[in-house]
Amino acid sequence: MRFLDALLGRTRPVKSRLEPLFALSTAYVTLHVNVGLETTGRAGICFRPLSSTRFEDAERELRQLVEIGARATETRFEFAQDDYGFRWIVLQDPDLEDLVAAMHMVSLTLQEHGFGEQLLAAVFKFHLGDRPVYWIYNYKRGAFYPLVPGPGERQRDNAQELRLRSLLERELPMEKDLERWYPLWGIPL
């Protein structure tokens, strides 16, 4: 089948990689001690919605699972939509490990229902002093990268982002291709 796909110019969607998400839990000690980043207790999962009844069923089940999980860990959640039409599940919990576990559960549920291709990114919000710092996990690449907003609107602090990469590249699976460090503007966190 791969030969036929190659011959006809078709590509198969890349399967989302979920397990590397857990690396953030262990890297938090370094983030906190060596860098001074503090978790805000907020994270979000961004996915591309589909207009199908199957997706609506999965989203309904996802809401129920998040509610059950939220009661167990006391994680609060809400659904949101950004300016680009992408859907977000925003989670709030002061315990970073609970946030990572909830993020994994949501991702796994979408993947089990055949919507793993819809997963775009998991975003964890931190702050460094009074500045926000986002750690973005790209599901297709199975890698993290930092996003540090700059002083102006839609500007980035590239020097700080590169510094964070160098400090954490041994602890987190980092995106090596800087061209793939997409800025996500309007994150509803």
Specify the pLDDT at position 9.
52
| pLDDT tens track for 56-83 | 777 777 777 777 766 767 788 888 888 8
Using CB atoms within 10 A of its CB, is residue 189 exposed (0-12), middle (13-18) or buried (19+)? middle
Could you say which DSSP state residue 14 is in? P
Could you say which DSSP state residue 185 is in? -
- The pair of three-digit structure tokens given for residue 2, joined into one six-digit string: 């791969």
- The pair of three-digit structure tokens given for residue 17, joined into one six-digit string: 């990689």
Mean pLDDT by 10 residues, the chain (189 residues): 47 57 86 90 88 72 72 80 88 90 81 80 94 94 94 91 93 94 92
Specify the pLDDT at position 47.
85
Specify the pLDDT at position 102.
83
**Ordered domains of the chain (ranges, CATH):** 14-175 (3.30.70.600)
Specify the pLDDT at position 75.
80
